[in-house]
Every structure is written in C-alpha cells, then in structure tokens.
Amino acid sequence: MNRLAVYCGSATPADPVYLDAARAVGRTLAERGIGVVYGGGRLGLMGAVADSALAAGGEVIGIIPRALVDAEVAHRGLTELHVVDTMHQRKQAFTDLSDGFVNLPGGTGTMDELWEALSWAQIGYHSKPVGLLNSAGYYDHLIAFYHHMAEVGFLRAQHKDILIIDAELDGLLAKMAAHVPIEAITRMSKSDL
C-alpha cells in the first residue's frame, strides 16, 4: 500500500484520545512510507493526521471541495492540495489516488465516505481494502449494526468481510495488507444474488 485514504472528522472532541489516535495514524503511515490522501482540512482530526504525517516527513495529499476552501478551512501546507467542485469528485479522487481506506472516528461526512467505500467495493467499482479503526470503542455500535445487516440478510455472506476492523492501527494495517478482494455483485451469477 503506497497511499491510503484516511477518513476522519473535522471536529475536535473534548476527549483527547481521538486526537491522539489521529496523530498516531498520520505519524505511523509516514514512518512506514505510506502516503496520506485525506479531506484537505486543517481542523480537527483531519488536521491532526495531516500535521503529524508531514512532521514525520510523509506525503500528504488533500482533496477539498471549493466551498470548504472558501470557508478558509483548507490546509495550505500539504504536499499537494486538489480543489474539486463536488463531494462526489472528492470521493472519486480518494478512490483514484489511494490503495485503500482507513476510517477514524468522525461524523456524518466520515460515515458518508465509509459507506460509499464499502458499497463501491461491494458493487465492484474498486477492490481495495476498507479499514475501520475502532479507537476507544467509538465504532462499537456501528460494528454491531454492520453484523446485524449480515445476520438479517441485507449484507450477502460473500460481502460480510468487506469491512476490516481492528482497535489497533498495527493490527488494522496488517489485515489490510493481507486483504483478498471479495466477489463483487457485478461478477456474481444471478443465482447468487
């Protein structure tokens, strides 16, 4: 994995555990020679990932919609900053420029990015690993819901392992490196659907 898209919040929660985890992700990826592709912001967890990766000598590519640049939240000290017109173009650029996705804690934007990465893998638009870093148990309820989707039958058995989960970054990166692409819906026979 040469580059990973890192999805995370632009907010800074009161509990420092989330900011510390974001800093560790940026630093660790840079130390491993893995570039960061992220939302291009300077605030919150986004800014912490970028700043720590840059401080460790890493490559950091930001993808930001023009509306957010105009709101003055763009990080101006990145290796590259790509300004796009829409959120769809932003997510397409994340997919095009990265070899996988790491999701840290975040809000609705982070959830949008996570679910799109998962659904695109399921459909076959990409075959890249989608990782969820469950820092401080933040995603416990989402993980339970994900398993519930499979139990009920809304997530096919062939796709239940699309989401790669770990509470520790080293474990998550190891699982992502061992990723084997799933059988996408577009390649399945009608009887398997």
CATH number where 30 lies:
3.40.50.450
Tell me what pLDDT residue 72 has: 74
Q: How far apart are CA 136 and CA 121, in angstroms?
A: 26
Q: What are the backbone dihedrals phi and psi of residue 125, each rounded to the nearest 5 degrees, phi first?
A: -70, -25
pLDDT digits 0-9 by tens, 144-166: 999 999 999 998 888 888 999 99
| DSSP calls for 54-97 | HHTT--EEEEEEHHHHHTT-B-SSSSEEEEESSHHHHHHHHHHH
Domain count, the chain: 1
pLDDT of residue 52: 98
Instruction: Compute the average pLDDT of residues 82-90.
Output: 96
Is it the case that residue 94 has pLDDT exceeding 60? yes
pTM (whole model) above 0.95: no
Domain span including residue 58: 3-192
Q: Strand 101-103 relative to strand 35-38: parallel, antiparallel, unpaired?
A: unpaired
